[in-house]
Structure 1
Amino acid sequence: MRFPAPIPGTRTVLAPLAAVAAIAVLAWPLAAQDGASVDGPPAGVRNPAPAAATVDPSLFGGLSFRFVGPSRGGRVTAVEGHRSHPHTFYQGATGGGVWKTTNYGMTWENISDGYFRSPSIGHIEAADSDPNIIYVGTGSDGIRSNIIIGKGIHKSTDAGETWDHVGLEDAGQVPSVKAHPENPDLVYAAAMGNPFINNETRGVYRSSNGGLDWERILFTSDSVGAVDLEFHPADPDVIYAAMWRAQRYPWSIISGASDEDGIWKTTDGGETWRRITAGLPEGLIGKVDFSVSPDMPDRVYALVEAPEPIEGLYRSDDAGETWELINDDPRNQLMHRPFYFANVIADPTDGNVVYVLNLSTWKSADGGETFNTIPNVHGDDHDLWINPDDPRIMVHGSDGGGVVTLDGGQTWSPVNNQPTAELYQVDVDDRFPYWLYAGQQDDAFTVAVPSRQPSVSAPGGPDAYWRSPGGCETGPAVPKPGDPDVVYANCKGRFGVYNQRTGQEQQYYVGAVNMYGTNPANLPYRFQRVVPIEVSPHDPNLVYHGSQYVHRTMDGGRSWERISPDLTAFPPERQMVSGGPITRDATGEEHYSTLYVIEASPHDPDVIWTGANDGPVYVTLDGAETWENVTPADMPPEGRINSIDISRHDPDKVYVAGYRFLLGDFRPYVYRTDDAGETWTLLTDGTNGIPADVPVRVVREDPDRAGLLYAGTEFGLFISFDDGATWQSFQLDLPLTPVTDIEVYRQDLALSTMGRGFWVLDDVTPLHEIGADGSVAAEGGAHLFEGRPQYRTRPGRNSGFE
């Protein structure tokens, strides 16, 4: 495995004990200028400007993060290859950027770090006429609740060595980019738009000069975007476009409309368009995905979301003019969760062979009438590229990463060589070296990795150190203080206790009610997927758990006590079964009006803070006898309170981070109270370092230096030396990806990310010596930072640890 390289334009100094020469550390390091214009009114989310440095970055520029795992892949939403180099492939992760392999998937190297403005990848297009020209649309079309917004299109003319940003920054998700097969400067893009709000940038765009300028050539409304494009294999002036009404709310997802969704066609390269209806569902149509085969150029396959029994795989044999339902998917194998899947790929050498990607990969050899699964290494499958000269060679993208086959899917390259894990949180145990724990989305299990190589040798390398300590992909997994072999773990709202000595888990669900497919208003306990688990700092046997209430156990979950009233806003109009108007999506992650964070005070066992995903912040100061709503008065309603941090230096000082981008509001919301919630100060006004459109997920104060704050945002890491009065980038050599959680532990900074795994910055004590005004102890000249005691450990060969 190749670990992420430093961002171009920076360098890494391994010894952070002394001041080093100045290093330019930008908040948004880009390798290209824009120079692109968009025809049509601007809307959506702009690119953040670099934050002005208030402390000279040379004082901490020698610090460096380490990637510590896991290297098992996360969700891949786009794959690509080219017939001229059959051993080279590309994959795009939902939060990890673009990766390239030149050895059939045995190793992958990131090629987007330092260039891309969003780590979420919607589509990769290698131009047929020139394999060095690659277009990448950012923003995945699988708009589940942890979706990351796209930031336009990037282009490479040297096979991914360098990139330029070529516009459509406000187009939101860009799930399809198509370069003309003979002219790579003529390029088309499908823009879904901002997935959270109506906006005018949706539709189909065309550029005739390689992305320097764009014109919108198909637009139906501000709520309907384009999700897929395909050329006719024999006539590129004929283009099929899929239009989709799609919007993500915190409490639901909308997929489908009656009048504007569906299949559109042009025969003049996009000058004029008409909606095709013959043989297609009348009324509601949701997500549509196409595929064509040069073997039968007039044949078009389309997966069409629609009300049953007219949902399924459609086929046209007259270039899209008329359609027939070939497979109505009676067992719900092809159309499960269509907003998230719905991917069809025709074999370029045989138009009767077609693949459908869903929970599994399905193959038909009779034009889509019957299907069988093919072997693969993971599940929840999203994209497939087939070599047009040898269809046995394919690259495949799933929730587990990107893999390559040379034998038609009988065997595949590994997924355990891609550091693209999507992690919801980070918890640490008290071993030496300590381990990091989280729920890893899309990989079925929680995951734990060591911060340093353990003393026990593992000749299998870093893969051999992974553990799955109970629960499932959502997490959290919280080790018990004093006995780290015991882990309190969650699986989609269900509590368990995992014993790492025995490998057994005991599960104790609060209420024992199936929460899926039910209106949350009718549930006695509204748990959601990533429910909080908080262990008391004063008693490792005292564990708190959160639905709309705070629950408490003293016996490992065997018995539970409810100790609070409903601590959410509970707007009744938001309580519904998620998904519509066609397909329900009953996964529990859209349960609204539920707790997202519980924080027990390290100073006083009677003080507990909570935050809900619909806005309120509550506190009890008397051991749960009474609870007070202390929500900041100027915070807009219905934000997701994602983190609460109680200062180790002052029991009445508390920091709260919330975000509202799922409502279309990308402003950062970080607040501080100095009087236990009586009054609040907004620490992020959009002008003091964290840009006005960068949502903050988490804020932590350093336990050893009052007023030293770390903020994890949707687009990287920030730091404040003056208790939030000003902020600046602290990205260093971190890749651009959402920072979901932060732990400051044993004077290390440990991070979880939504697309690039765990990272650790060893020894933050040099930061403790930097004052709020940017000064250090010495006046003038060089300054020697003290550092902390160091430990000699036994490194192993091929350990995978830096």
Structure 2
Amino acid sequence: MAEDPAQKTGIAAIDPMTAMRWRCIGPPRGGRVVAVAGDPEDLAVFYFGACAGGVWKTTDAGAYWENVSDGFFRTSAVGAITVAEADHNVVYAGMGESCIRGDVSYGDGVYKSTDGGKTWLHMGLEDTRHIARIRVHPDNADLVYVAALGHAFGPNSERGVFRSNDGCKSWEKVLFRDENTGAIDLSLDPTNPRVLYAALWEAQRTPWSLISGGPGSGVFKSTDGGDSWQELTGNPGLPEGLKGRIGIAASPAKPGRVWATVEAEDAALFRSDDGGATWEKVSDNQDIQGRPWYYQHIFADPQDAETVWVLNYQAWKSIDGGKNFQQVTTPHGDNHDLWIDPNNTQRMIEGNDGGACVSFNGGDTWSTIYNQLTAQFYHIATDNQYPYRVYGTQQDNSAISVPSRTHKGAIPWGDCYTVGNSESGHITVHPQDPNIVVSGAVGSSAGGGGNLLRYDHATGQVRIITVWPELLTGRGAKEMKYRFQWTFPVQFSLHDPDVLYVAGNLVFRSADQGSSWEAISPDLTRGDVTKMETSGGPVTKDTSGAETYGTIFAFAESPHQAGVFWAGSDDGLVHISQDAGKTWSDITPADLQEWSLVSMIEASPHDPAKAYLAATSYKLDETRPMIYKTSDNGGSWTDISQGIPEGDYTRVIREDPVRRGLLYVGTETGVYVSFDDGGSWAPLQGNLPNVPVYDLAVKENDLVAATHGRSFWVLDDLSVLHQINNELAESPVQLLKSRPSVRLRSPGAPRKPSTGKQYRLSLGADVTYTEETGPAGETVRRFLDAGENPPRGVNVTYYLKEKPEGEVILTVFDSEKQLIKSFTSAAPKDSSVAGAGDGGREPRLPAEAGVNRFVWDMRYPDARKVPGDKTTEDMNTGPAAPPGNYHLSLRVDGKELTGEFQIVKDPRVAASQADFDSQFALHLGIRDKLSETHDSINKLRNIRRQVEEWEQRAASHSAAETVAAAAAPLKEKLADIEGELVQTGYKGARDRLNLPVKLNRKLAELVIVVGSADFAPPKQAGEVFQDLSARIDDQISLLEDVVDRDIAQFVTLVEELGIPAIIPSTVPPGALTPSG
């Protein structure tokens, strides 16, 4: 039973994620997709299920995609998706893909939405693990069939074909062969929905092999809606002998026509025109039979009985009954799923290993896959630039470099770049030269076994530096000189930047960045040759390198002492060397399950004798977490996995380099944190989707995550976690220390959210996003095709043991403790009238029990506004605080706490402190003069308003003409002054270049000049400011003359005439009364 949060005490009672937030930095480059569907009625609506990224929906035909399953799904891998024809709001998703790669993630059954993906319910079949197809009766959205493959790594009984007659509230298994055989395809005959065809597949993975085929594989048919089934496998025309994976499709255009693509010794495409009673081999084209365990996807055209599609490495289409095929080019290779609109066969959506794409012309052109934040990364690296960049190897794509932030306000695709065509391995960046990136490239590069690439960004060239570049495709691991795993370790030395380490079954060292190699270890694996046979079979071999076994999977160099190495193997051994590899000691934890995969070793940054390891046995069908630590160089180990749930197996562990014993673990569904060196664990999930986390890195006090299905994510500013302890938990209120904040420039957020999609932040920053008002009144942007920058400003974090009774007030002071700005948790003040403060809606302070975070944007108060003046709208920004020391005051229910923080300059900037100070002084002077100008305009308009009200009161008076005659020249003088200070005729964009600009806009525009970069302002900017100030002063003097002379005379006149005074309650804020 889950622990009641209200019963937690001490650190366990504190959830740091109430104040912290993950952000996705991209890249917006799609990951693998094996499940797609379209709405038959709404032509712009499509869905896809990412292989480890949940369900996504487009309402604009693939121009943009949004995730619709976050917060509802407990797992992330989607194997099947369908929209009910009878009710297009009903969408079913089957979890766990059936293209069972070695990195496959499991699912937890079926989810259902009845509102077009807005909300979802879990509907059972949790132990099916991998669902291949969902079919729904065309006239009954509650009659659902599921083809479940079952466990990929072991036998189980919850597999086969399942049926629900009540919208998935209950299930019955209607077709089952045995615990090693599951259903891999299912086709419902649209011409007679009681007829179904099912393909069963006997398949299983182990860490060292893939078994595809056996006596369990076969083809079945039901003519009574699944009540009974007839096996067709031995019917005339189908191949004899063992069969592997089979794809099957009933033609909607011709009753009785069925297509089957069969993995067998006689692999071919077969067709039946009598409902499966007899079959004809129509094509033995091997281009449509490649790697059958991974493909065998076939789709019948809904309207043309002679047209059939087969998806493989390429997409293939036949229009002559399967005799001949033409390739249809798609945006990416490795094609898996296709939905064709039954009413318009030109409209379709296709899923491949690069994402999902939509076509409206039958596949001639497709929508982009560079708008999907679903990349599957294996490992991560960061460089030492500022801002740092994040590097990773993306499955079925290339290695890539992504900035952790940009000056553009977001992270567009154009700011990312490829760093070699590595899809599978570890990646490392030269510590002193970020142009040099080395990464493993098994499966995606030439160069023999253990492909290794060295990329130089200065030239764009990629060198192949493989340890032993002998091509070994088609052979088992036992025939290899050296064995390298799909994701073998690669690392630049922490002590010598030109030394490179890689690990196969031996550890190798290069002193010349890969031009030559030497082995510095013996074989550090079990070396069991029975687990090194050629992978695949019994029908088709498959030697991609993913099943190469008996290799070193984890490698770590001590940060404290050169020559100390830790190594962990994929067959469950751990070794250490303390003499630069001359000797190695077996230090395997005694209770580590045999044949477990040692996924990651972390050498403690605090203690030379300490290390942590994350291991897993999920490829042995064992999903428990496995984490260990040692404090004596592996002499003894302690299991510290207690507290991470069963099923959430572990892939990576890192120790915080600042706080000893602060640990981060990446699992199959997310991230956990321990504050007590593994004694207990808590989720560090927050807004991070449930997604496999393959690697973690701590960089510049940020936690960076490589997810295997949702791209890269960053948790900014770990200083909060450094300060969480039992004392904090017992404090009624505490102001936490803030880390130094770098003053960076990027487009600011508008005060009010815009409606609909926006397509540009600024010139050169073309990204698509939407906006909404956040809970504190701030504008929140959600990017659809770009990564997210961190919040711009100073993080102020405070802990409240209980929700306060009164308002919380935060005040910022400069180094001399002079007031800069105050913020409150109370509702914002009304800024719609003249004289109301600084004219902008300020974000509110959060004031909830627990950890709260507020971001001060480093800005001094804005200039005061003129209500309704569109010429200076959003141009009244106060100056940015210069680098220096600042003070804080936090007041909560009568208690005041104080703190300090520091703003530092961007390290790339050459400006001196004097430059920053002069820039600040000029900007502040401009702001104050602009406020003075706007105050005068508001004052002028209040005066005129009252003059006009006196005229109205005098309208029925005998002296009406006298008052009007006195008011006319007065109003004319006011209009002349106003016309110099502000453009009163501006109504909208038409007038921007049509009407002359006035003094207040000239002054506001000067702010942009002064603040355009982190440098001392140009001399001429100061000269323009002096000129504008003098001209404004002239107008203000004229206004004062009007007040002192003309207004006084006018007031005397109306008083002598006995005109009633203005009722005080109608006086606008800041207005002059008749006596004043």
**Counterpart Cα distance in 2 of 1:523 and 1:187:** 49
Which of 561, 568, 584 is the aligned partner of 1:627? 584
Which of 294, 306, 317 is the aligned partner of 2:273? 317
Larger Rg: 2
CA apart distance, 1:663: 0.5
What is the match of residue 18 of structure 1?
Answer: none
**Counterpart Cα distance in 2 of 1:183 and 1:393:** 24
> Retained in 1: the 8 A contact 2:409–2:746?
no
Partner secondary structure for residue 170 of structure 1: helix
CA apart distance, 1:375: 2.2
What is the match of residue 102 of structure 2?
Answer: 145
**Counterpart Cα distance in 1 of 2:255 and 2:57:** 30
Classify 1:28/1:391 alpha carbon distance in 2 versus 1 (closer, same or farther; 3 Å).
Answer: farther
CA apart distance, 1:656: 0.5
Matches within 5 A, 1:397-408: 397-408=351-362
CA apart distance, 1:775: 3.7
Q: More deviation in 733-742 or 525-534? A: 525-534
Q: Deviations over 1:48-79 (max 9, x none)?
A: xxx99962244442100110011100001110
**Counterpart Cα distance in 2 of 1:86 and 1:297:** 27
What is the match of residue 175 of structure 1?
Answer: 132
Which one-letter code corresponds to 2:744 in the other structure? Answer: T
What is the match of residue 291 of structure 1?
Answer: 249
Q: More deviation in 515-524 or 167-176? A: 515-524
What is the match of residue 303 of structure 1?
Answer: 261
Which of 55, 67, 70 is the aligned partner of 2:12? 55
Which one-letter code corresponds to 2:272 in the other structure? Answer: S
Partner secondary structure for residue 379 of structure 2: coil
**Counterpart Cα distance in 1 of 2:313 and 2:421:** 21
What is the match of residue 386 of structure 1?
Answer: 340
**Counterpart Cα distance in 2 of 1:615 and 1:122:** 30
Say whether 1:702 aligns with 2:659.
no
CA apart distance, 1:27: 12
> Retained in 2: the 8 A contact 1:314–1:323?
yes
Classify 1:575/1:79 alpha carbon distance in 2 versus 1 (closer, same or farther; 3 Å).
Answer: same
What is the match of residue 446 of structure 1?
Answer: 399
Partner secondary structure for residue 605 of structure 2: coil
**Counterpart Cα distance in 1 of 2:658 and 2:640:** 21
> Retained in 1: the 8 A contact 2:10–2:730?
no
What is the match of residue 312 of structure 2?
Answer: 358
**Counterpart Cα distance in 2 of 1:506 and 1:458:** 35
What is the match of residue 691 of structure 1?
Answer: 645
What is the match of residue 427 of structure 1?
Answer: 381
> Retained in 1: the 8 A contact 2:197–2:250?
no
Say whether 1:794 aligns with 2:745.
yes
Partner secondary structure for residue 236 of structure 1: coil
**Counterpart Cα distance in 1 of 2:479 and 2:727:** 57
What is the match of residue 12 of structure 1?
Answer: none
Q: Deviations over 1:147-198 (max 9, x none)?
A: 0011100001111110000000011111111111111111111111111001
Matches within 5 A, 1:156-167: 156-167=113-124
Say whether 1:266 aligns with 2:192.
no
CA apart distance, 1:210: 0.8
What is the match of residue 9 of structure 1?
Answer: none
Which of 459, 465, 468 is the aligned partner of 1:508? 465
Q: More deviation in 262-271 or 160-169? A: 262-271
What is the match of residue 498 of structure 1?
Answer: 455
Which of 336, 357, 360 is the aligned partner of 2:290? 336
**Counterpart Cα distance in 2 of 1:206 and 1:314:** 27
Matches within 5 A, 1:232-247: 232-247=189-204
CA apart distance, 1:516: 2.1
**Counterpart Cα distance in 1 of 2:645 and 2:490:** 31
Matched-pair identity in %: 43
Partner secondary structure for residue 791 of structure 1: strand
> Retained in 2: the 8 A contact 1:640–1:658?
yes
Which one-letter code corresponds to 1:533 in the other structure? Answer: V
Q: Deviations over 1:437-460 (max 9, x none)?
A: 1110011x101100011x5x699x
CA apart distance, 1:571: 1.5
Partner secondary structure for residue 410 of structure 1: coil
**Counterpart Cα distance in 2 of 1:775 and 1:676:** 32
CA apart distance, 1:515: 3.0
CA apart distance, 1:720: 0.7
> Retained in 1: the 8 A contact 2:17–2:685?
no
Say whether 1:539 aligns with 2:496.
yes
Which of 458, 464, 469 is the aligned partner of 2:419? 469
**Counterpart Cα distance in 2 of 1:155 and 1:326:** 38
Say whether 1:112 aligns with 2:74.
no
Q: Deviations over 1:711-749 (max 9, x none)?
A: 100111111111101111111100111000000111100
> Retained in 1: the 8 A contact 2:251–2:302?
yes
> Retained in 2: the 8 A contact 1:150–1:172?
yes
Q: Deviations over 1:275-325 (max 9, x none)?
A: 112121222111111122321121111111111xx2121111111221111
Query: TM-score with structure 1 length normalisation?
Result: 0.90
Partner secondary structure for residue 426 of structure 1: strand
Which one-letter code corresponds to 1:389 in the other structure? Answer: N
What is the match of residue 713 of structure 1?
Answer: 667
> Retained in 2: the 8 A contact 1:609–1:617?
yes
Say whether 1:570 aligns with 2:527.
yes
Classify 1:668/1:28 alpha carbon distance in 2 versus 1 (closer, same or farther; 3 Å).
Answer: farther
Which one-letter code corresponds to 2:152 in the other structure? Answer: P
> Retained in 2: the 8 A contact 1:52–1:728?
no
**Counterpart Cα distance in 2 of 1:779 and 1:199:** 49
Partner secondary structure for residue 433 of structure 1: coil
**Counterpart Cα distance in 2 of 1:59 and 1:372:** 56
**Counterpart Cα distance in 1 of 2:716 and 2:255:** 57
> Retained in 2: the 8 A contact 1:28–1:117?
no
> Retained in 2: the 8 A contact 1:27–1:730?
no
> Retained in 2: the 8 A contact 1:446–1:476?
no
Say whether 1:185 aligns with 2:135.
no
Tell me how many residue pairs correspond in the alignment.
Answer: 741
Partner secondary structure for residue 214 of structure 2: coil
**Counterpart Cα distance in 1 of 2:459 and 2:425:** 20
Partner secondary structure for residue 721 of structure 2: helix
> Retained in 1: the 8 A contact 2:11–2:724?
no
Higher share of residues assigned strand = 1
Q: More deviation in 52-61 or 273-282? A: 52-61
Which one-letter code corresponds to 1:537 in the other structure? Answer: L
Say whether 1:326 aligns with 2:277.
no
Q: Deviations over 1:3-40 (max 9, x none)?
A: xxxxxxxxxxxxxxxxxxxxxxx9999xxxxxxxxxxx
Stretches of structure 1 that go unaligned for 5 or more consecutive residues are: 1-25, 30-50
Q: Deviations over 1:235-264 (max 9, x none)?
A: 111111111101111111111112x31101
**Counterpart Cα distance in 2 of 1:452 and 1:764:** 17
**Counterpart Cα distance in 1 of 2:608 and 2:101:** 37
Say whether 1:763 aligns with 2:720.
no
Query: TM-score with structure 2 length normalisation?
Result: 0.68
Q: Deviations over 1:510-568 (max 9, x none)?
A: 12211322111111110122211111111111111111000000111111111100001
Q: Deviations over 1:121-153 (max 9, x none)?
A: 111111111101111111111001010011100
Partner secondary structure for residue 521 of structure 1: helix
Which one-letter code corresponds to 1:596 in the other structure? Answer: F
> Retained in 2: the 8 A contact 1:315–1:326?
yes
**Counterpart Cα distance in 1 of 2:83 and 2:9:** 37
Matches within 5 A, 1:25-174: 55-174=12-131
Partner secondary structure for residue 766 of structure 1: helix
> Retained in 2: the 8 A contact 1:470–1:477?
no
> Retained in 1: the 8 A contact 2:422–2:453?
no
Which of 730, 734, 745 is the aligned partner of 1:783? 734
Matches within 5 A, 1:206-245: 206-245=163-202
Stretches of structure 2 that go unaligned for 5 or more consecutive residues are: 443-449, 748-760, 768-785, 790-1076
> Retained in 1: the 8 A contact 2:427–2:491?
no
What is the match of residue 549 of structure 1?
Answer: 506
